[in-house]
Structure 1
Amino acid sequence: MPEILIVESSSPGIASARRELGRAAPQNFSRVFAAAIPDIKIRVVEPYLKELTCADFDGVDGVVMTGAGDDWAADDDLATPIRAACDLALETGRPVLGVCYGLQIATVCLGGKIAASPKGKETGLALKVELTEQGARHPMMQGRRQGFSVACAHRDEVIRMPDGGQRLAYNAHSDVQAMSVQQSGVDFWGLQYHPEISPSIVANAIREHGSLFSNTGIDIEDLLKVETDLETAQRLGCSLADFELPNRTRELINWIEYVASKTTVAA
């Protein structure tokens, strides 16, 4: 069975508060992966608490760089521990998945550029995400339809991909909603949106506890209903099928199956 290392990208205070609520990023990913591969091994590390070394990657088959709730950007000095962890992960040549902040961290580490979107924050839903020609052929996006919608919460975005980057998906808000990078042994898949959570989780996080992303352009009540109410979904430009678990988590299932296939070959 594959062993996955999940790198918690939030600072300790935020990570701890979310963990108590069962909403920490590693918990969200672990639930999806364990449902797909019940015997999967998962370890979680927190670079803000302990600097990672090469030994942390021993026996690891794939690495996840999670999203984060802090207000500093991926290229800020405060993010140095996370970038250092990502550098080590990428250098191993193992499959690395970056989601939201994880995508942005990897972009910076690989020589690309991120910045705050001129269109403001994209919070609640990434609407009408389209696949590029490369995306329609890429294994991460297999099973995704054109024009899907998915949970999201971000201020920054990729404005220049690293060398070797392929743009896989985009929408009206962000030109890079998904990308892959193959360069110098790097095997990276990245998403700007959050397939590991539902829109209602974003809504509850905003409503109950406040958030860096609290000025959502989508009504919170709509986020709570869009997964099950056809009228709400249609009004927002979504499909109820977008939020059915196998569809919502499609990229994560594709990635973990990719990691498992490489593990089988190596064995």
Structure 2
Amino acid sequence: MLRFLVAESEPPEARESRRESVGRSSGETYLDTLLSLAPGARCDRIKPADAGAGLPAGASLAGYDGVFLTGSPLHLYKETPKTRRTVEFMRAVFASGIPSFGSCAGLQVATVAAGGTVRPNVRGYEAGFARRITLTEHGRSHPLLAGRPAAYDAPAVHTDEVETLPEGALLLAGNRVTAVQAAEIRFDAGVFWGVQYHPELGLDEVAGALLRQTDSLLDAGLARSQGEVEAYADQVDALHREPRRRDLAWRLGLDEQVTNAAKRLTELRNFIEALGRERGARQR
């Protein structure tokens, strides 16, 4: 039985806002997604950004097969108690040698923990979906992206990005807006696979994220009114409910890499399969 640790770095106020919007925090979404991919796995959730947070009683990092870092509104280029606690946790994960995976802010946390840098997006707000993510030479042969085509779209909502990867990291994918869309980072005793986008999110949660960030979308010039944001989010949510609606997919410019849940979850499935292979090798 695989054992997973989900590290939810959303601060409490963001956690509650997300629950009000879509009914679950980022960590709770991860738990549901992981159990759908690995039925029977044992999953624990911790909140490393929170003061006084720690592992479950009696647990140690060595007892887990993999660690998962969620998205978060934390800005990793700002030194605050919350970012400091989160980065210190990630350094402990690297030191433990336990493989880890992260999406969006998870990639940024791992980058900073290993000596890289993060900054505000310089080419604009990537909201709703990251378009035409393209594999690098390393990405075309890396197991994290096995099954992805040469170019694909994915759910994404972020205002920050990786500026410089740590020394020795592998750039696996990027697009016109965000140069680092997927990467492998090796630091200390550990290895991290991460993406800037959100394979764990259903389209209902993408719609909820757009609505929560309406003011930011207006400020960025991506919409001219609250009504435009709501109309777009309604279409995304409708496609979640009816993923085979070709008219909605056409209007939104999406294909099966996003609308098909199995394809959308590619990176998480690949990481879990890699953990299973590693566990099997240890037991032989």
Same fold, TM-score > 0.5, yes or no: yes
Q: 1:87 maps to what in 2?
A: 91
| One-letter amino acid of the structure 2 residue matched with residue 246 of structure 1 | A
- Give the C-alpha shift of residue 23 in structure 1: 2.7
Q: Which residue matches 1:190?
A: 194
CA spacing shift, 1:50–1:58, aligned 2, 3 Å: farther
Q: Which runs of 5+ in 1 are unaligned?
A: none
- Indicate the residue corresponding to 1:50 in structure 2: 52
Instruction: Note if contact 2:114-2:187 (Cα within 8 Å) is conserved in structure 1.
Output: no
Quick one: distance in 1 between partners of 2:144 and 2:235? 29
Aligned to 1:256: 272
* Match in the other structure for 2:233: 220
Provide the residue aligned with 2:228 in structure 1: none
Partner of 1:202: 206
Where structure 2 has 5 or more consecutive residues not aligned to the other structure, the ranges are: 224-231
Q: Which whole-Å deviations, capped at 9, do the CAs of 1:29-74 have from their partners, x for residues lacking one?
A: 2222212221101000112142447954141111111101x3x411
Q: 1:198 to 1:212 in 2, by over 3 A?
A: farther
Equivalent positions of 1:98-117 (< 5 A) are: 98-117=102-121
- Are 1:244 and 2:260 counterparts? yes
Q: Does structure 1 conserve the Cα–Cα contact (< 8 Å) formed by 2:61 and 2:98? A: no
Matches within 5 A, 1:57-206: 57-68=61-72, 70=73, 72-78=74-80, 79-206=83-210
CA contact (8 A) 1:117 1:174 kept: yes
Would you say 1:11 and 2:11 are equivalent positions?
Answer: yes
| Alpha-carbon distance, 1:199 to partner | 3.3
Query: Sequence identity of aligned pairs in percent?
Result: 29
Report what 2:32 is aligned to. 31
- Amino acid aligned to 2:262: P
4+ runs of 1 displaced by more than 6 Å? Answer: none
Q: Using the TM superposition, give the Cα deviation of residue 228 of structure 1 relative to its aligned residue in structure 2, in angstroms.
A: 4.1
- RMSD of aligned Cα (Å): 2.3
TM-score using structure 2 length:
0.84
Q: Which has the higher contact order (CA 8 A, sep 6+)?
A: 1
Query: Whole-Å Cα distance in 2 between the matches of residues 241 and 192 of structure 1?
Result: 16
Q: For this pair of structures, how many residues does the alignment match?
A: 264
Shift, 1:184, TM fit: 3.7
Tell me the CA shift for residue 230 of structure 1.
2.5
Is the 1:131–1:170 Cα contact (8 Å) retained in structure 2?
yes
TM-score normalised by structure 1 residue count = 0.89
In structure 2, distance between residues paired with 1:31 and 1:178: 23
What CA deviation, in whole Å up to 9, does each residue of 1:134-153 have, x standing for no partner?
11110110011122111111
